[in-house]
Amino acid sequence: MGKQLKQETVVDREAFDKGQFEAQGGFKRINQTFAGELETVLSEINQELWQEKA
C-alpha cells in the first residue's frame, strides 16, 4: 500500500481493483485483511495526506 501511495496521491476503493492489487484479489481480499475496515483506513490516510498539503 505504501508504494501505491507514493504513485497516487489519493488511494480509493477503485485503486485496489486494478494493477498489482487486482492480481492479489483486489479490494475484497485486502479488505478482509483489514477486518472489513479498509474504507475507514483509506479515509483516514487520505485525510492526513490532504491535511498536510493544506
pLDDT reported for residue 7? 62
Parent domain of 23: 2-53
CA distance 40 to 53: 20
pLDDT reported for residue 39? 92
CA distance 24 to 53: 31
Contact 30/21 with Cβ under 8 angstroms?
yes
Per the structure, the count of domains in the chain is 1
Say what the alpha-carbon torsion angle 46, 10, 42, 21 is, to the nearest 10 degrees: -160
pLDDT reported for residue 24? 87
Contact 4/15 with Cβ under 8 angstroms?
yes
pLDDT reported for residue 28? 94
- Model confidence over 1-54: pLDDT tens digits? 666 666 655 578 888 888 888 888 999 999 999 999 999 998 888 888 777 555
Q: Is-above-0.85 flag for pTM?
A: no
